[in-house]
Structure 1
Amino acid sequence: MFDTEQFIADCRSALAADESPRLVREVVTRAVSDPAAILKELGEPKRGGLHALYHSEDLTIINMVWAPYMTLMPHDHRMWAVIGIYTGREDNIFWRRISRRNGHIEAVGAEALAAGNAVPLKSDIIHSVTNPIPRLTAAIHIYGGDFFAAERSEWDPETLDEQRWTPEHAMRRFEESNWIIDHLGVDAA
């Protein structure tokens, strides 16, 4: 049985016991092993968006919902993260800097995540994310810091030029991605 408040308490306890993502990943792994329980507690996702479940200086927990076919440009977190998928699929492309001077990046790997997967991301990771399926994907994302206040970067998807990341831009991108639900009749569920 997934309970949001208990999940938050378990993540806080895990972080207090170990500042690395190791114990937090164990909490997330247990949670996403029963996707139906998370869906029962959080509800069936209807639209893409970032839904903060918990937010402090040292820990942020977000229920992240990706609209069908949504892609988020390459970005960094500058803090560790744990991603736990509970419905749908998330494809990640991993990038590395090839030039400190102009901030350009190149792709170096990829990983597809499906319901039940819980994976850690190191604090220096750069990745882009795509929901490649014609329905919503939802995941619990845990960050080892203040996701909304951290100074971070994102890269233009066409030129791969580095620019400043803002939470407002990210939230707008999630809302704009809902056009496929609103205008093309793609089934959200």
Structure 2
Amino acid sequence: MFDKDRFIQNCIEAVAEGKLAVQAVVAEAVSDRASLISALGEPAHAGLSTLYRSDDLTIIDFAWAPCMSLMPHNHQMFSVVGIYSGREDNLFWGRTKTSIEAIGAKSLGAGEVVVLGEPIIHSVLNPIGKMTRAIHVYGGDFFQPHSPRSEWEHETLTERSWNMERVKQLFAEAESRFNATANG
């Protein structure tokens, strides 16, 4: 049975060892998806719920709206992503002289985990018609990283400063769009 407090403690201990130790903790958690869903509950809305936050560790429970896309962005710290319901498609980007370009992709289904290194730029898509749930564990303070974060505008791939309020608005808009089409 998933125990949130024990999971947080395991992540605190693992982050001192590095991202591969965190990966093992997250992999164990998402291997029992039913228990994880039971412990964390069904989300009322798309968005993110912070389970733990400190200077060297942030744990977030993400609920991705159906068919939602999040613009390319970086974290300035490593992250470990574990999917426990639905699907999350990650497109990886590399810097060019003037912008970024796609360099790879990874599709994750329930029970799968990926480690993203500190320099990674990625965008995220929930390609299915239901909520996707994921635990993201970051090796730092996701909300106030030591180095400034960037995001890239979807259409022009123009770099700009990361804006958490804009991200929260994207989650709300994606949920609203889906609800409008589902009820229309």
Bucket of the pairwise TM-score, normalised by the shorter protein: over 0.9
Q: Tell whether the 8 Å contact from 1:77 to 1:123 is kept in structure 2 after alignment.
A: yes
Q: CA-to-partner distance for each residue in 1:99-124, whole Å, 9 max, x for gaps?
A: 1xx4x000001110000001100000
TM-score, scaled relative to structure 2: 0.95
Q: Which residue of 2 aligns with 1:123?
A: 118
Aligned to 2:180: 183
**Counterpart in the other structure of 1:156:** 153
Give the equivalent residue in structure 1 for 2:42: 44
CA distance in 2, matches of 1:181, 1:110: 25
- CA-atom RMSD in angstroms: 1.1
Match of 1:168, SS state, is helix
Q: Which residue of 1 is the match for residue 61 of structure 2?
A: 63
What CA deviation, in whole Å up to 9, does each residue of 1:163-184 have, x standing for no partner? 0002211112112211134322
Matched residue, 2:72: 74
Residue identity matched to 2:43: P
1:12 aligns with 2:9: no
Q: In the alignment, residue 115 of structure 2 is paired with which amino acid?
A: P
TM-score using structure 1 length: 0.93
1:68·1:180 contact (CA, 8 Å) conserved in 2?
no
Give CA-to-partner distance per residue, 1:76-114, whole Å, 9 cap, x none: 001000000000000011000001xx4x00000111000
Q: Structure 2 regions of 5+ residues with no counterpart?
A: none
Gaps of 5+ in 1: none
Alignment match, 1:132: 127
Amino-acid identity (%): 51
